[in-house]
Homo-oligomer: A and B are copies of this chain.
Amino acid sequence: MASASSITIRRARRDDVPVIVGMLADDRLGSARERIEDPLPQSYFAAFEKVDRDPNFKLVVAEDVDGAVVGCLQLCILPGISSQGASRGLIEDVRVATHCRSRGIGEQMVQWAMTEARTNGCILVELLTHHTRVDAQRFYERLGFQRSHVGMTIRF
């Protein structure tokens, strides 16, 4: 099996959307939220356009040596007044294709996001992980993240 170092992290393109949605749906929490249809609901492509046209949002994919997309991550660069006007990075929607787990692809993507955030003037990177995603929390702690906050949500 190829190692993580063989993957390339690149900006997502419109034609990556179906594979990204597939990875988002292939997940205990995500399966109920997505609609895998052919053709894919137009709302996914509309969302891609919104992300793609704002330079503060960076949706990337991990591409394997054979060109297959095997991971995704979205980084938001959030400007704000606090902390002397420093920006913050927010990581969302991190997924690695099931058959490519344990190759360090997630780590490589998150390291990419941290470097990108720092390059864009962020003093910290933050994220919310569902309280039941214990493995994810261990993963982020291993990369240096702290369980410093409570993540609160309200759904409409």
Chain A residues with CB under 8 Å of chain B are 17, 20-21, 24, 30, 33-35, 41, 43-48, 50-51, 54, 56-57, 59, 72, 74, 76, 78-88, 90, 92-93, 114, 118, 122-131, 137, 140-141, 143-156
Contact = CB atoms under 8 A, between A and B. Distances in A.
A84, A130, A140, most chain B CB atoms within 10 A? A84
Nearest to A128: B149
B81 A47 contact: yes
Contacts of A72: 81
A30 B81 CA distance: 12
A62 B51 CA distance: 30
Contacts of A141: 152
